[in-house]
Structure 1
Amino acid sequence: MRSVHAVILSSLLALSACSSLPNRDPVRINVVGVEPLQGQGMEVRFAVKIRVQNPNDNVLTYSGVALDLDINGQPFASGVSDERGEIGRFSDTVVTVPVSVSAFSVIRQTYGISQMKTLNNMPYVLRGKLSGGVFNTTRFVDSGTLNLPGVATGSR
């Protein structure tokens, strides 16, 4: 019976500790660049550059980044980086994450693009996380429009 009380008490203390953490504003993420990388076989790779803004009064420390990129409402690319760093209070930095695109995604996007008249202003949704341990992982979502590099968009 004492062990049950100990577990309940420990759980309540843990919950009250979490509720006493200071409120943090969400980080702001913007895609600032997409550059082609060397791929393997049928794989296509890009370096996605994101600007991470920390609007808080404390330093944001991260030890890894994961991204999922959807284009035109379809899954397109995903990637991870073991990059480590800190984003100072009320500061920002650019983080680069290599992402891979499967051949199936390329085919699906090529078909979707063929239905469009231009490659300019393609809608995207970027989901990801900055890993910071159990209680400090920061998840984010960004959306907007982009132009894919290295793709011909019309006649010369």
Structure 2
Amino acid sequence: MRRLIALSLLLLSLSACALFPSRDPLNINVVGIEPLPSQELEVRFAVKLRVQNPNETAIDYNGVALNLEVNGRQLASGVSDQSGSIPRFSEAVVVVPVSISAFTVLRQTLGLSQTQTLDNLPYVLRGKLAGGAFGTMRFVDRGKLSLPGATNATW
């Protein structure tokens, strides 16, 4: 009898997993950064993300979180409680305020070598669109950050 119950529970759990559709990962790109009012020891920016949904179903979200690493070190983070929906095979721009403390900038500056420029610094943007227990979509974007006019600058 116990084996029959265990087998039934196993079959039910496997069929429950089949009910959750698999989703393709979101395509996320930073499309803009604008300054926001700041406090004394921090700088704030509005990061604009273009979120592309390559799935056959809409993505509903009710919160956004971001973490930005530059040159292997944490630089900025931000959260927003905004909510919305990105229709199937569609895109939207999501704006997230992020903060950078003066101490973080100091750590970043000290982490640069004397010969390193501000051109082609590696970055990793990690985040998530919250959508409940099974609807949260995590994303990662990696690349090289080049600041305008920084090709000749060295630290």
* TM-score calculated relative to the size of structure 2: 0.82
Q: Name the residue aligned to 1:127.
A: 126
Query: Quick one: distance in 1 between partners of 2:147 and 2:40?
Result: 20
Q: Name the residue aligned to 1:102.
A: 101
Give the Å deviation of 1:83.
Answer: 1.1
Count of matched residue pairs: 148
Query: Quick one: distance in 2 between partners of 1:28 and 1:16?
Result: 29
| Offset from partner CA, 1:55-104 (integer Å, 9 cap, x none) | 01111110000001001110111110011111111111111101111222
In structure 2, stretches of 5+ residues that fail to align are: none
Give the Å deviation of 1:113.
Answer: 4.6
Query: Quick one: distance in 1 between partners of 2:113 and 2:33?
Result: 21
Residue 61 of structure 1 pairs with residue 63 of structure 2: no
Query: Quick one: distance in 2 between partners of 1:110 and 1:94?
Result: 31
Query: Quick one: distance in 1 between partners of 2:61 and 2:147?
Result: 28
Q: Name the residue aligned to 1:52.
A: 51
* TM-score calculated relative to the size of structure 1: 0.81
Query: Quick one: distance in 2 between partners of 1:32 and 1:141?
Result: 15
Is the alpha carbon distance of 1:115 and 1:34 closer, same or farther for their aligned partners in structure 2, counting shifts above 3 Å?
Answer: farther
Q: Name the residue aligned to 1:28.
A: 27
In structure 1, stretches of 5+ residues that fail to align are: none
Give the Å deviation of 1:116.
Answer: 5.1
Q: In the TM superposition, what are the counterparts of 1:72-111 in structure 2 within 5 Å?
A: 72-111=71-110
Give the Å deviation of 1:34.
Answer: 2.0
Give the Å deviation of 1:33.
Answer: 1.7
